[in-house]
């Protein structure tokens, strides 16, 4: 899975925003606000990656169990999938 083309991340003040650009604005109306962990997930989803591979990357970089990381990632990617942001 990976993020579809047509989205950019911008830091605005203390917020991390994802906004659609170009043709993507026709299919996604709005923006997302990410926290630091969601930004880490987002960055890793720029390339095609499997969930368990992303979980392992999170576990290598943060002090979190595999199960907790997987649950958080599945929750995040489910929201992205419902919004039509993932391929």
pLDDT attached to residue 57:
97
Residue 85 has pLDDT above 90, yes or no: yes
Residue 17 has pLDDT above 90, yes or no: yes
Token code pair at residue 2: 């990976």
* CA 45, 61, 59, 56 torsion-angle sign: positive
pLDDT attached to residue 53:
97
Average pLDDT of the residues in 13-19: 95
The answer to pTM > 0.95 is no
**SS3 of residue 27 by DSSP:** helix
């Amino acid at each position: 899975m990976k993020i579809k083309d047509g989205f950019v991340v911008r830091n605005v003040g203390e917020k991390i925003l994802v906004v659609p650009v170009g043709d993507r604005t026709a299919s996604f109306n709005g923006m997302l606000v990410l926290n630091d962990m969601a930004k880490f997930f987002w960055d890793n989803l720029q390339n095609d990656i499997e969930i368990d591979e992303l979980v392992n990357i999170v576990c290598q970089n943060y002090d979190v169990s595999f199960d907790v990381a997987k649950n958080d990632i599945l929750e995040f990617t489910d929201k992205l999938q419902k919004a039509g942001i993932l391929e």
